[in-house]
Structure 1
Amino acid sequence: MHLTQLSLLNFKNYVEANLNFRPGVTVFAGDNGAGKTNLLDAIHYLSLCKSYFNPIDSQQVLQGTDFFMVNGVFLKEDQKDSVSCAVKRNQKKQFKRNKKEYQRLADHIGLFPLVMLSPYDINIIMEGSEERRKFIDNVISQTDHQYLDELITYNKTLLNRNLLLKGIAETGKYDPALLEVFDEQLVASGKIIFRKRKVFMEAFTDIFNQHYQYLSEDAERVELVYESQLLQEDFAAMLKKSTERDRVLERTSVGIHKDDLQFSIHQMPMKKFGSQGQQKSFLVALKLAQYSFLYQQKGFKPLLLLDDIFDKLDEKRIHKLMQMVSDNHFGQVFITDTNAERMQQIFDRIGVEVTIFNVHKGQVNGPHQR
């Protein structure tokens, strides 16, 4: 699978742009703030129906205009698919494939799988458990529609249960029967999500370890461990036991929305004891493992988007990474960097043809092929 065309209208800092792509490696080069990352984000929209960086669609609209459009054409074997996303301020987002509008955006997820790595991803290591759950959910949702549906159901039920708990605190009216209904719904979806996360992590951990060992040349010992309250106790029993505490807290304190991943290096927390280079290598390995998992599950190669990833990586790891993503295991790769000459030299050294677009203040020139 590869993206052959990308068109933007009033998207972020682009008034208009029309680009054509070939399979293989494409680089967007230019100064910081030129709009390189915005091109990757537009591709992310076509695959996952949303921005990678900002959940508010209206904030992607070019200042001074009232709508944006992103269009793309994907080629998978001999099948061409046209995908479009249109957002108008204060209106519902329109998302279409082959001119047919989706009733549910969830039905699009996984058709054109994508993996993105950006400096923003350091949050997966440094921030709270929500970022790590998002990572798990992103991977599994692109391969399993039931998982995505159950996740949507769970989150809606969790919201309703929390609203009920707040209402009990505010009014003093306690309806144990309604709370029990929400508990049953949470348990039904939560158990399915837990089971699928557990199976996924068993497969994913081995893939991750292989990628990290390759990048670090087996110099460091790292661990990736799935943590869930459901590993220790039955979900229904936990909910029942925590009812009084939840009423005091006015929120649901147990469940799969508390799941986490533990990252460690030499048996110490990666967040505190990993160097910036080690943390970056850990993230790269996570994303490459995500790519490998999606490839195994889907049977075709996802898109790989690498945004300004060379910071904090030494020359040896940069070379190994570029060599890896250029081999036959990987398909179409989009990379942003501030230095076009550096990118040309890296790919000249490993003997891989690269297409370079120069980006300047929302204008794209190219392509230039080497």
Structure 2
Amino acid sequence: MLLENLSLLFFKNYDDANISFSPHINCFIGDNGSGKTNLLDAIHYLSMTRSAFNSSDALNIKQGGEYFMVKGRFKIDDEKHTVTCSLKQGQKKTVLHNKVAYEKMSDHIGRFPVVLISPYDTDLIREGSEERRKYFDSLISQLNHTYLEQLIQYNYILKQRNSLLKQFAERRYFDRDFLHILNEQLVPLGEQLAQERMAFLETFVPVFQKHYRHISDSHEAVTLTYKSQLPGANFAQLLEQAEQKDRALQRTTVGTHKDDFVFLMDDNPVKHFGSQGQQKSYVIALKLAHFEVMSERQHHKPLLLLDDIFDRLDEKRITKLMQMVAAHTFGQIFLTDTHLERTDKILENLSEQIRRFEVKEGTVKVIG
């Protein structure tokens, strides 16, 4: 799979940009704050219909603007696909595939996969369980459309249930029958999501462990486990047992939305016992496993986005990644850096298909 070109209108710090890409390596070079990462985020948006960094779509509109548009042309085998994402202030965003709007936005997820390796990846280790659930839900959703539909439905019913619990408290009444109706809808979805997460880790963990050994050259044993109340338990019964607590807190306190993915090194939490270097190796191995599993399931390689890795990683880890580039492990690559000389030195002899772009204050142009 290739992204042949990218067009932007009023996206983040860009008024207007039109870029044609190399089929192999594309380098965005510029000072910090110039807009390099925003170009990676635009590519991410085309794939996932959302920013990798902003939770609100409206934050992607350039300051003072009324709308944004991101447009890209993909090539898979011999077929061309044009994807357009846009948002006007106060309106719903639109996503078009070959000028036709999707009936459901979720139908787009997984069609044009992307993997982003970013300095913020260690947040997966440092932050709470919500970050890890989001990451794995996004990954599994790109591979399994049924899982995505179940997740959307689960979150919708969960929102209704939480709203009802709040309503009970505000209006000082309780309708157990109504609550049970929502429970009956929530239970099978929660159980299916938990089963899918466990099944996914069975195939994912060995691939992750292989990449950790390669990237780190170390002998500590790493793994990740799924921590959930559901497997082996009766979800309906758990909801009934938590009813009083849920009413007091005005939210649902049991279910797959409370689960976690536990990152371990020698049976200890990586968050507390892993060095900074070990934590970086851990999340890079996660992303490389993400890439490999996605490639195998989708039968084409995702786009790989590398944000400021030459600044943030030590020489050993950079060398390992570049060896994988040289071995054509990856397909099309997009990377950012602040120094052209450093980029050229690291990429020397890796490919004849390298295109370099100068990024400066929201403008982008080809170098050379």
Range class of TM-score, shorter chain: over 0.9
- Higher mean alpha-carbon deviation, 198-207 vs 50-59, is at 50-59
Secondary structure (helix, strand or coil) at the match of 2:327 reads coil
* TM-fit CA distance, 1:53: 0.7
Could you tell me the TM-score, scaled by structure 2's length? 0.96
Secondary structure (helix, strand or coil) at the match of 2:224 reads strand
On the 8 A contact 1:281/1:313 being kept in 2, the answer is no
Q: 2-side partners of 1:146 and 1:362: how far apart?
A: 39
Secondary structure (helix, strand or coil) at the match of 2:322 reads helix
Mapped pair 1:245 → 2:257: no
One-letter amino acid of the structure 1 residue matched with residue 280 of structure 2: K
On the 8 A contact 1:326/1:352 being kept in 2, the answer is no
Mapped pair 1:126 → 2:100: no
Q: 1-side partners of 2:108 and 2:322: how far apart?
A: 30
Describe the shift of the 1:164–1:326 C-alpha distance in structure 2 as closer, same or farther (beyond 3 A).
Answer: farther
On the 8 A contact 1:25/1:326 being kept in 2, the answer is no
**Aligned position for 1:364:** 364
On the 8 A contact 2:195/2:231 being kept in 1, the answer is no
On the 8 A contact 2:119/2:312 being kept in 1, the answer is no
**Aligned position for 1:291:** 291
Q: 2-side partners of 1:10 and 1:149: how far apart?
A: 32
Describe the shift of the 1:61–1:312 C-alpha distance in structure 2 as closer, same or farther (beyond 3 A).
Answer: closer
On the 8 A contact 2:133/2:260 being kept in 1, the answer is yes
Q: 2-side partners of 1:234 and 1:88: how far apart?
A: 45
**Aligned position for 1:57:** 57
Secondary structure (helix, strand or coil) at the match of 1:63 reads coil
* TM-fit CA distance, 1:367: 4.6
* TM-fit CA distance, 1:340: 1.6
Q: 2-side partners of 1:299 and 1:226: how far apart?
A: 27
Q: 2-side partners of 1:205 and 1:88: how far apart?
A: 41
Q: 1-side partners of 2:349 and 2:21: how far apart?
A: 23
One-letter amino acid of the structure 2 residue matched with residue 317 of structure 1: R
Q: 1-side partners of 2:95 and 2:367: how far apart?
A: 28
- Higher mean alpha-carbon deviation, 6-15 vs 316-325, is at 316-325
Mapped pair 1:159 → 2:159: yes
Name the % identity. 50
One-letter amino acid of the structure 2 residue matched with residue 197 of structure 1: R
One-letter amino acid of the structure 2 residue matched with residue 283 of structure 1: V
On the 8 A contact 2:359/2:365 being kept in 1, the answer is yes
- Higher mean alpha-carbon deviation, 116-125 vs 179-188, is at 116-125
Alignment deviations for residues 78-107 of structure 1 (CA, whole Å, 9 cap, x no partner): 000011111111112121010111232111
Alignment deviations for residues 126-185 of structure 1 (CA, whole Å, 9 cap, x no partner): 111000001111111111111111101100111111111112222221111111111111
* TM-fit CA distance, 1:324: 1.3
* TM-fit CA distance, 1:352: 6.2
**Aligned position for 2:345:** 345
Describe the shift of the 1:343–1:55 C-alpha distance in structure 2 as closer, same or farther (beyond 3 A).
Answer: same
- Structure 2: gaps of 5 or more residues: none
**Aligned position for 1:26:** 26
Mapped pair 1:188 → 2:184: no
One-letter amino acid of the structure 1 residue matched with residue 11 of structure 2: F
After TM superposition, the structure 1 = structure 2 runs for residues 262-301 of structure 1, keeping only pairs within 5 Å, are: 262-301=262-301
**Aligned position for 2:8:** 8
- Alignment root-mean-square deviation, CA: 1.4
Secondary structure (helix, strand or coil) at the match of 1:231 reads coil
* TM-fit CA distance, 1:351: 5.8
Alignment deviations for residues 316-358 of structure 1 (CA, whole Å, 9 cap, x no partner): 1111112213432311111111122111111116566532211
Could you tell me the TM-score, scaled by structure 1's length? 0.96
Q: 2-side partners of 1:235 and 1:325: how far apart?
A: 46
Q: 2-side partners of 1:297 and 1:200: how far apart?
A: 12
* TM-fit CA distance, 1:312: 4.3
Alignment deviations for residues 13-66 of structure 1 (CA, whole Å, 9 cap, x no partner): 111111101211111111100100000011011111111111212211112221
Secondary structure (helix, strand or coil) at the match of 1:19 reads strand
Equivalences, count:
368
On the 8 A contact 1:276/1:312 being kept in 2, the answer is no
Q: 2-side partners of 1:227 and 1:270: how far apart?
A: 15
**Aligned position for 1:215:** 215
**Aligned position for 1:331:** 331
On the 8 A contact 2:23/2:353 being kept in 1, the answer is no
Q: 2-side partners of 1:264 and 1:105: how far apart?
A: 35
One-letter amino acid of the structure 2 residue matched with residue 228 of structure 1: S
* TM-fit CA distance, 1:267: 2.5
On the 8 A contact 1:347/1:353 being kept in 2, the answer is no
* TM-fit CA distance, 1:223: 2.1
On the 8 A contact 1:24/1:326 being kept in 2, the answer is no
Mapped pair 1:143 → 2:140: no
- Higher mean alpha-carbon deviation, 258-267 vs 320-329, is at 320-329
Describe the shift of the 1:231–1:146 C-alpha distance in structure 2 as closer, same or farther (beyond 3 A).
Answer: same
Q: 1-side partners of 2:357 and 2:58: how far apart?
A: 27
